[in-house]
Amino acid sequence: MDYRTRFVFHGNASAFGGRLVRPDDIVLESSGASSLPVTGGRCRGEVRGAQFGDVIAVGSATTSIEGLFDNYAHAVEVSHGRLHQTALTATTTATADVRDIGAGVKPRLTIKRIHAALKSISPAGSGEPAIQLGDQSVVEGASIDGHGLIIELHTPMFQEHSTRSKLVAAADNPKFVEKFGDAFFMKSKTAGGTGPARGRLLELRAGIYATIVKRIRWDGAPYPGAHIDQHIVNVPEFGQIFFGEILILRDARRLTMVRLGLGSPIGGDIAFAEVQDNGIWS
């Protein structure tokens, strides 16, 4: 067998998905997902409105994945056998855009637009792809029964610390912990104890858990009884709204712009605008 090292493209984008388990069992089916084959290319998906009972509604959604070698002329040379593929670099971009979201009955969450974007550059000597948060990532027009929410993001920081190694190195710097530690829950309390005094990255099997959210604040009066806890909004008779969750692995990042943990009287777990981006040599 004549096996040669090759670049394996990878990227996924989902507009929405999840399941309502009460009062009725409803699986959220979406036809708008995109996923790259190992050879790269371009994939697009579109949803022109979706309704699931009287609980979840989506006006429209699009997803897109593009993974290509950066230098076309060099790719041609590879096709002729005059250049090895390891001489190339590749870029993969994953996006998901969801508009006019409605969730819940009373109270009801509405969001005008969510956009998630990740950009991955193929690994060099470190073996780690550089994966950046896209400038277009945003949550616009979020409100709970007309009580507006403003969501600010840590976009530059998640662009600068684009590899796991850069992030881990920065986590040893007290100035980084002071400025950005909350985004990585570095001083979060452990079961039965307090958080580490100097801060520590919260890493589980799924990766380093973090949030791209810098701050959430009310645009005017808050919804009665609701409270904000970092990237989470807790709403009575609704449940929890998680904004901007990201999982960071050595060779991948997975971003979920909005996740709902519906608690009462409706139960279920729903996600909107999720993208995963990476690519590795194999």
> Is residue 192 over pLDDT 50?
no
pLDDT the model gives residue 267:
95
Q: What is the rounded CA–CA span in Å between residue 275 and residue 187?
A: 27
255 has which bridge partners?
Answer: 246, 275
Task: Give the mean pLDDT of the chain.
Answer: 93
Name the nearest CA neighbour of 142 among 204, 231, 30: 231
Grouping H, G, I as helix, E, B as strand and the rest as coil, residue 57 is strand
The DSSP secondary structure of 212-275, one letter per residue, reads -EEEEEEESSPPTT-EEETTEEEETTTEEEEEEEEEE-SS-EEEEEEEEEE-SSSEEEEEEEEE
Query: Per-residue pLDDT tens for 85-104?
Result: 999 999 999 999 999 999 99
Average pLDDT over residues 20-32: 92
Query: Per-residue pLDDT tens for 122-148?
Result: 998 888 999 999 999 999 999 999 999
Average pLDDT over residues 31-39: 92
> Parallel, antiparallel, or unpaired: how do β-strands 56-69 and 7-22 relate?
unpaired
- How many CB atoms lie under 10 A from the CB of residue 173? 12
pTM to 2 decimals?
Answer: 0.94
pLDDT the model gives residue 197:
63
Query: Per-residue pLDDT tens for 225-268?
Result: 999 999 999 999 999 999 999 999 999 999 999 999 998 789 99
Spell out the domain ranges in the chain.
Answer: 7-49+62-98+116-139+151-281
Q: What is the rounded CA–CA span in Å between residue 229 and residue 240?
A: 10
Task: Specify the amino acid at residue 263.
Answer: G
**Cis before residue 123, ω within 30 degrees of 0?**
no
